[in-house]
Structure 1
């Protein structure tokens, strides 16, 4: 192993990029020879006084530049000339697997708008672990990639049960199946429990794709009024008594977009009403995966009627498109069939990759780094929003902002877009048409490539908030 400790220049550039540049410079100058083994990431992080995630991200960036190679259990090495030439050849000849060795930037170079409307997991160097798992899966199970998935490996359900568990609740793997992300799981659960024309209660405001899913399959959304803890029990009781819904869709842990979280008392009240009126519960816990393990899900309180779902999109990587759903007894086969018919069969590569990342412990390591990065972005964003009313959480990827006087939600969204920034209007989160105006917008802080870009966008948004609607001129 090479005893190499670089000196990083002072710069506004992110530390991981400075470290990746230092690796490239050392290779060019022959300070790092072809085939040299780099220091273990944890050791280098200690020597440099930075986080493990920073070094992981730097190694990933250098690997994407074609400078490094590595194997799980062996370490990270400087590529030799033959490897680099072979990598370039494979990247030109094979558009899929060859790109793993092709040099490209991990930071999007698009000159399009800054995306403050997404909440995908930020880049914390997770591609190093994902690529290693991908390559191992292809090498080990290549014969499984040329055929349909005819039998579901037990490991897929075991991984799902592990990822969904929280607050002392351990779901049964036999009632858990892999999905193509959270959205298809929501769609499948709704189709499983409600027939066309039947009603489903939704918090208002709520996740926009869930409301769209209800309309797509011919079910009818009912808007339930909320308070600071989410759906009000008296409102839920009234809707159940008068409109007889078949199901209720809830996000009890850090609701999207309000960030409301139900107390245990509130959760028990909702469960008791659902039992009394025989209403199914669809529990979306995709943001709950970013919470510390203390929240008891609805599925633990009412396992006989709760479909509990989550995915890797917020805590690991959105592009994997892997999730899981735990079902009430006797409902898993029906829900899995609905998922297949509505969202298509599961991809072996996706489901196997997701399962191995979870079962190996890599997902937990990535989640820890994601939460650390989100906490840093949260602190930065709070500085720019000082003096304004908003809801947030240090481990959450978005803010729910109350706009100052004169701004409407739609006009603020247009003003931000005119400055090259996409944010979400409150109308995106209304399950039904409503005259109620909250005068809020949601901004996501995780999908922006890095903190420099985040700060660039926050400067614009802060100026718009401070200067008011009069600062934005529209033309008829």
Structure 2
């Protein structure tokens, strides 16, 4: 005689179909440890009788749980919780957005041999000036020119990565007594930075082209009593939704801020990935825009070089802040960058990364289904819009299956915002691990799909 299951039958709260509510209740109890790996689940007929639902409904719920890897069925014995087995083995991390690895040992060894013959020891024996070495600023000017942003070297501040650049930009444009307006779904690093340093964020609606001018204008006008206001926006390959502004939208956003004398912080770290005639916001309004760029996001995460381009009026304020902070990138990283710019390596790496990004994006679209979310051939990530509850369940189940995804709360400005989703970062894993993870997540998407799936053609609104 089979042992009786100790699980107390229930349906999750909500208005969905009984099979979905049963599946959700069981998955919650498995993931939260109330059901351990190997625990027996109730027999189909017994569970149907105790909940007052059909046997077919129980069968459907059990099938969804098995596709998620949370249960396993043994012929002649029954169905058992299996989360523990799903967690075995190394994790596949799809939560960190990096370009695909295109720098090999030979290239690095050859580069180090070259720069060893021309290293200036003074850069290691002395502290860098507050705004960085002049030759480094000129070098970064050349880098910005490769994606059509012409600036004066005196307007540039080198930093050790984009996150430092964004932090300094927030301080300069807003400070803790002001408010930062950004897309209501935005870069997790900016959300984490604001929460850590106590900046107040306000979410602005977005659509297929990103931040909408009407919503931005209305939100700015609601914040007129705040001493300082700033707008943080990602116009190219928005993180997390991949939205990219056209030229008309860019000019409209700039005009809204120019009319209200509000500084824009433009996150341009992905601008180099798109070979299009799309002007940077900093090119449209140099006196109102702080521009952020980074080699970490475009060439290699280990190349910790960020670039902050400032309006002329902010130069003195920035130098005062920099005297109290140490933000200069490693001289070794700058020498590597100089060598690669001179010998054409930068262009070769960019081309290789672009090809690999397109390949990975196409793989994700083919395995997950092109109508499940937003895919862009130049992006290192894809966006799967979902209601908060479903997104949290998706992330928890993926973790139980050994796959780490970006937590939905990390991309939302307002923690109460129900319309969020899942960001899947494609650049970090090996090709084999990426395909393995996407196949697993494709099954998870199918198992969690409602009877009438919602359209993903638009960014979800509140």
What is the RMSD of the two structures over their aligned residues, measured on CA atoms? 2.5
TM-score of the pair, normalised by structure 2 = 0.72
The structure with more radius of gyration = 2
1:258 counterpart (241, 249, 270): 241
Deviations 1:285-344 (A, max 9, x none): 111121114211100111001111111123210111112121111323533553564554
Cα pair 2:266 2:289 within 8 Å, conserved:
yes
Structure 2 residue 344 is the aligned partner of structure 1 residue 366: no
| SS of structure 1 residue aligned to 2:394 | helix
2:427 is matched with 446
Structure 2 residue 383 is the aligned partner of structure 1 residue 400: yes
Distance 1:234 1:199 in 2: 18
Structure 2 residue 139 is the aligned partner of structure 1 residue 163: no
1:378 is matched with 361
| SS of structure 1 residue aligned to 2:424 | strand
Aligned pairs for 1:13-412 (under 5 A) are: 112-141=90-119, 143-144=121-122, 146-151=124-129, 152-165=132-145, 168-244=148-224, 245-335=228-318, 337-338=320-321, 341-342=324-325, 344-386=327-369, 388-403=371-386, 408-412=390-394
Cα pair 2:304 2:330 within 8 Å, conserved:
no
1:458 counterpart (413, 438, 448): 438
Q: Structure 2 vs 1, CA of residues 126 and 159 (structure 1 numbering), >3 Å: closer, same or farther?
A: farther
Cα pair 1:175 1:328 within 8 Å, conserved:
yes
Structure 2 residue 414 is the aligned partner of structure 1 residue 432: yes
TM-score of the pair, normalised by structure 1 = 0.70
Higher RCO by CA contacts (8 Å cutoff, separation 6 or greater): 2
Cα pair 1:399 1:442 within 8 Å, conserved:
yes
Cα pair 2:160 2:306 within 8 Å, conserved:
yes
Query: Size of the alignment, in residue pairs?
Result: 358
Distance 1:416 1:361 in 2: 41
Cα pair 1:167 1:295 within 8 Å, conserved:
no
Distance 1:258 1:239 in 2: 21
1:67 is matched with none
Cα pair 1:116 1:448 within 8 Å, conserved:
yes
1:469 CA drift (Å): 7.8
Q: Structure 2 vs 1, CA of residues 426 and 346 (structure 1 numbering), >3 Å: closer, same or farther?
A: same
Q: Structure 2 vs 1, CA of residues 344 and 150 (structure 1 numbering), >3 Å: closer, same or farther?
A: closer
1:456 CA drift (Å): 1.1
Runs of 5+ consecutive residues of structure 2 not aligned to the other structure: 1-87, 451-462
